[in-house]
Amino acid sequence: MRLITTVCSIAVLLLFCSGCWDRRELNDLAFVSAMGIDAEENAGRYRVTFQVVNADEVAGSSTAGGGAAGGKSTPVVVLDSEGSTLFEAIRRASRKIPRRLYFAHMRLVVIGENQARRGIRDLFDFLDRSNEIRLNSKMIVARDADASTVISQLTQIERIPAAALVGNLKFSSKLWGETLDYSVIQIINFLENPHREPVLAGVRVLGDPKSGTIQRNNFETRSSSRLVLDGIALFKDSRLHEWADGDAARGIVAILGEIRGGVVGLECGNRKKAAVVTILRSSTRVSGRFRGEKPVVRIAVEQEGNISESHCDFSLDRPEAIRQLEQQWSETTESFIRDAVRTAQRLPADVFGFSDVFRRANPQKWRSVRDEWNRWFPQIEAEVEVQSSIRRTGTRTKSYWLSS
């Protein structure tokens, strides 16, 4: 009896023992921090670039950027591979690296402009199907460049270039308001709607791209090459068709309800951008209806901000002065939004998800127009209403220009 009890106890304990049949030794893994996808000249083939963390260099150095801590090698290494599919390219890369590429810590996917113009829909099967790739990895389009060029750039401040670009997306969307911080899963959700087109932030290489791959470039206070977020990529039929910049980009971000911050310059008398408003909060509500056979969309924006700088020739302690600036801020935002709508209708490409708005507003009418949505979208009339509130003017009410 005691023997049976002992055997049963051991059997039960064995159930709690972890197995190691599927173990992955760290020394066998190459941690991919970013992946770039470019179109090869041969139709249907991809060139995939991998930014791999040089673990020994990163672990053995301080947090200074781009190898500036005095390491003898770069904090990342870059290799590429070709294939008819993404997975084939990944497996083919095993010929060039003595470790297995591991994607569980990948933070960024860069799409080259040529590949974006060829189409991005086919890329997402592998990205979504893989059990290693994180769907919250950020996604961006290389503007006027290959993804491999962007992936190969070393950066200052952040030792891992992928972390630098992810940080750029995060803080630029909060502080400037002309870019979109979108992830792989968000683009997948857009593509699942047959009537909606995706949008993505763009990144450009300023300066000499070749020098950006050399470690000694980061021992200088001014790098001769730099990665800069630039514009928003507009897609039609899952292909890049146009770039939106400036006012149109701000309008797109506003309609999508992705304004997390930013600054707006306002006029004071004859002085352009003499007052600067910092956006604290912004919310957007979009509704739609059919006025007879005319589709009408209503875009309502509520925004709050503070005066961060003023060179106005009037004191900001007067309520009428604040109301004047609030009205001008509302008109400026409305102009951005209308510019964005015109840009999208010119393609035409429903990058705002207006199709969902009309489907929810009038399902019966929507069923009669959904098959010809590309014809209906340019006919949409946009009604824009913006309410702006300036909460604080800082520690001064008069500008130095007025004081003098």
Neighbouring C-alpha atoms within 13 Å toward the C-beta of 392: 7
Q: Are 132 and 225 contained in the same domain?
A: yes
Are residues 336 and 217 part of one domain? no
Q: In this structure, is residue 273 part of a structural domain?
A: yes
Residue 10 lies in a domain: no
Sign of the alpha-carbon torsion through 157, 158, 164, 166: negative
In a domain, 37, yes or no: yes
Domain final residue, candidates 192, 210, 244: 244
Within 10 angstroms of residue 305's Cβ, the number of other Cβ atoms is 24
Per-residue model confidence (pLDDT) at position 401: 65
Classify residue 227: in a domain, yes or no: yes
Helix intervals (H) in 135-231: 147-151, 161-175, 184-191
Q: Does 204 map to a domain?
A: yes
In this structure, what token pair is assigned to residue 3? 């023997």
| pTM for this entry | 0.90
Residues 33, 82, single domain; the answer is yes
CB-based contact 270:302 (threshold 8 Å): no
Among 244, 269, 299, identify where a domain stops. Answer: 244
* 308 and 328 assigned to the same domain: yes
Structural domain boundaries enclosing 158: 27-244
pLDDT (0 to 100) of residue 217: 60
* 297 closest CA partner among 305, 288, 306: 288
Q: How far apart are CA 334 and CA 329, in angstroms?
A: 9
265 and 401 co-located in one domain: yes
**Cα angle for residues 236, 189, 368 (degrees, 5° grid):** 65
Same domain membership, residue 319 and residue 186: no
* Amino acid in the structure at residue 150: V
- CB burial string 218-231: b at 16+ within 10 A, e below: beeeebebebebbb
| pLDDT for position 64 | 47
Q: Is the peptide bond before 348 cis (omega within 30 degrees of 0)?
A: yes
Q: In terms of domains, do 47 and 111 share one?
A: yes
Coil, strand or helix at 127: helix
Residue at 285 is within a domain: yes
Give the DSSP letter string of 209-272. Answer: TTGGGSGGGGGSSS-SEEEEEEEEEEEETTEEEEEE-HHHHHHHHHHTT-----EEEEEETTEE
The total number of structural domains that make up the chain: 2
Of 244, 275, 307, at which residue does a domain stop? 244
Can you give the pLDDT at residue 19?
64
**CB of 36 closer than 8 Å to CB of 151:** yes
* Same domain as 231, residue 296: no
Instruction: State whether 205 and 284 are in the same domain.
Output: no
Count of helices and strands (H, E) across the chain: 14, 13
Q: What are the structure tokens assigned to 56, written together?
A: 């020994």
Look at residue 147 in the predicted model and tell me its pLDDT.
Answer: 98
Enumerate residues 6+ apart whose C-beta is below 8 A from 16. none
Domain shared by 281 and 210, yes or no: no
CA 210 to the chain's CA centroid: 25
**CATH code for the domain of 340:** 3.30.300.210
For residues 182 and 265, state if they share a domain. Answer: no
Asked if residue 12 is part of any domain, the answer here is no
- Inside any domain, residue 7: no
Residues 119 and 187 in one domain: yes
Cα distance between residue 120 and residue 112, in whole Å: 10
**pLDDT, block means (10 residues), the chain with 404 residues:** 81 71 79 97 90 84 48 87 97 95 97 97 96 97 98 93 97 95 97 96 94 75 90 97 97 97 91 93 97 94 96 89 96 98 97 96 93 95 98 87 60
Can you spell out the DSSP letters for 6-56? HHHHHHHHHHTSPP-TT---GGGEEEEEEEEEEE-SSTT-EEEEEEEE-HH
